[in-house]
């Protein structure tokens, strides 16, 4: 039987985010996780920690880390508490839309098939699967899986004009892979401000992370509350499934963004445009 740890290192600084983290938790609270390893930063850290302690009891391993060294440094201090077979990277602005027994079954399938990781959100009405058209997969009960390699990466990237991230945060990870990402100083230079987790994700050209045994769900599992960036109308708010109490804000970035942080965001946007132009052009026959 496989074991699961729920991990989060999030920034909760507004009443709305506090509401959302509670709603997100309640949507999958019954998942068979042995422990929840959670670090909470921001103005509502006390309230979130108290809420989770009441709900989880001894299953909660809580941290209150918010150093000047950034998200990765703080997350490394949490690694000793993270064990088991798989790690669920919890994002507080995503809600579970499936029965929790399906999530439990998926974790078992991941272990049975030695999968490295699986997207659990951004189903986009099935468009997530379309990004992997042309890639042979092995079918399972609730997931399909394939080996993502340097050789088949161009096919995958050609299916989406903006490219397909090799690794995304909204995923379930084999513990060894999760640990490797957190401990590896990659990318260099950094694309995002150190206060954010975004450099955890690996861009379409970060092929030194391949090969990876990747699983894809066969149905929608989680959905973003308010993120319509890639597929307009796909968020829960846009679908009328969650109340809109305030406009979308950038995740986990304080209002006092440094000049370095602004430059990091600007460079990252420019980098993606360059990647889109040079890396994803159709091949000439």
The pLDDT value recorded for residue 48 is: 99
The continuous run of DSSP H or E covering 9 comes out as: strand 4-11
**Averaged confidence pLDDT in the chain:** 90
Tell me the pLDDT band of 277, cut-offs 50, 70 and 90. Answer: very low
| DSSP string computed for 167-180 | B-SSEEEEHHHHHH
Q: What is the pLDDT of residues 162-214, one digit of tens each?
A: 899 999 999 999 999 999 999 999 999 999 999 999 999 999 999 999 999 99
User: Going along 162-234, which residue ranges are E strands?
Assistant: 171-174, 212-217, 222-224
C-alpha 25 chain-centroid distance: 15
The pLDDT value recorded for residue 280 is: 44
What count of other Cβ atoms lies within 10 Å of the Cβ of residue 145? 21
What percentage of the chain has pLDDT greater than the value 90?
Answer: 83
The pLDDT value recorded for residue 68 is: 96
Q: What is the pLDDT of residues 110-149, one digit of tens each?
A: 999 999 999 999 999 999 999 999 999 999 999 999 999 9
CA proximity to 196, closest of 169, 166, 171, 225: 169
The pLDDT value recorded for residue 250 is: 56
Length of the chain: 285
Q: What is the pLDDT of residues 238-264, one digit of tens each?
A: 999 999 998 766 544 433 343 344 444
Report domain extents, the chain. 4-279
Question: Of 1.10.3910, 3.10.310, 1.25.40, 3.90.550, which CATH number belongs to 4-279?
Answer: 3.90.550
Q: Residue 268 pLDDT more than 50? A: no
Cβ burial 72-84 (10 Å sphere, 16+ → b, else e)? bebbeebeeebee
Which strands make up the sheet holding 138-139, listed edge to edge?
60-63, 35-41, 4-11, 86-89, 171-174, 117-119, 212-217, 143-148, 138-139
**C-alpha to C-alpha distance for 263 and 274, rounded to whole angstroms:** 16
98 pairs with which residues across the strands? Answer: none
The continuous run of DSSP H or E covering 141 comes out as: none
The arithmetic mean of pLDDT across residues 14-20, rounded, is 97
**DSSP reduced 3-state for 39:** strand
**C-alpha to C-alpha distance for 12 and 20, rounded to whole angstroms:** 9
**C-alpha to C-alpha distance for 9 and 181, rounded to whole angstroms:** 15
Q: Residue 51 pLDDT more than 90? A: yes
The pLDDT value recorded for residue 247 is: 78
The arithmetic mean of pLDDT across residues 143-164, rounded, is 96
The pLDDT value recorded for residue 134 is: 96
The pLDDT value recorded for residue 230 is: 84
The pLDDT value recorded for residue 249 is: 67
The pLDDT value recorded for residue 183 is: 99
The pLDDT value recorded for residue 275 is: 47
């Amino acid at each position: 039987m496989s074991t699961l740890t729920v991990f989060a290192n999030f920034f909760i600084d507004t009443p709305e985010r506090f509401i959302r983290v509670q709603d997100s938790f309640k949507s999958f609270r019954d998942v068979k996780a042995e422990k929840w390893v959670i670090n909470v930063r921001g103005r509502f850290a006390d309230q979130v920690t108290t809420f989770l302690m009441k709900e989880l009891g001894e299953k909660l391993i809580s941290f209150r880390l918010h150093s000047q060294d950034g998200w990765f440094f703080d997350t490394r201090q949490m690694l000793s508490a993270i064990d088991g077979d798989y790690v669920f990277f919890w994002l507080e602005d995503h809600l579970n839309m499936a029965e929790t027994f399906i999530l439990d079954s998926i974790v078992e399938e991941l272990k049975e098939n030695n999968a490295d990781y699986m997207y659990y959100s951004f189903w986009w009405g099935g468009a997530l699967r379309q990004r992997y058209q042309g890639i042979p997969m092995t079918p399972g009960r609730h997931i399909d899986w394939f080996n993502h390699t340097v050789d088949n990466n161009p096919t995958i990237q050609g299916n989406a004009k903006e490219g397909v991230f090799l690794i995304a945060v909204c995923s379930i990870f084999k513990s060894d892979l999760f640990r490797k990402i957190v401990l590896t100083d990659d990318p260099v230079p950094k694309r995002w401000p150190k206060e954010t987790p975004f450099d955890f994700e690996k861009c379409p050209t970060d092929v030194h992370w391949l090969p990876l045994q990747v699983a894809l769900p066969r149905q929608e599992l989680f959905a973003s509350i308010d993120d319509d960036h890639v597929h307009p109308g796909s968020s829960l708010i846009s679908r009328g499934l969650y109340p809109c109490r305030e406009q979308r804000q950038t995740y986990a970035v304080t209002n006092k963004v440094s000049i370095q942080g602004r430059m990091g965001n600007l460079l990252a946007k420019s980098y993606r445009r360059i990647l889109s132009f040079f890396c994803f052009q159709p091949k000439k026959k």
